[in-house]
């Protein structure tokens, strides 16, 4: 089971990751440097970015666990290489 929204709000890790994900999105959309975009994103970040941070954390953790088992998402799809 995932973390509650209240737990995500209290998590310094999720706040920082959410801020960086938001800044990356802004930088890509506006065509500016990531450093510039980071100055535009205030803490605390909104619920959407906290949820995206948790999704990113879960995805990375899941991929690491799969690699520990000797498999990757790419090989599960029948390919020989990571896409």
Question: Stretch 37-63: mean pLDDT, rounded?
Answer: 93
Q: What is the pTM of this model?
A: 0.73
pLDDT of residue 77: 53
Q: Which residues, at least 6 apart from 8, have a Cβ–Cβ distance to it below 8 Å?
A: 14, 47, 50, 51, 53, 54
Tell me if 36 sits within 8 A of 27, measured CB to CB.
yes
Question: Stretch 17-42: mean pLDDT, rounded?
Answer: 96
Residue 66 has pLDDT above 80, yes or no: no
């Amino acid at each position: 089971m995932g973390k509650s929204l209240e737990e995500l709000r209290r998590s310094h890790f999720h706040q920082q990751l959410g801020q960086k994900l938001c800044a990356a999105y802004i930088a890509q959309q506006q065509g500016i440097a990531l450093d510039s975009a980071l100055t535009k994103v205030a803490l605390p970040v909104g619920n959407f970015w906290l949820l995206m941070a948790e999704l990113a954390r879960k995805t990375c953790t899941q991929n690491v666990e799969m690699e520990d088992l000797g498999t990757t998402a790419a090989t599960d799809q029948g390919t020989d290489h990571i896409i």
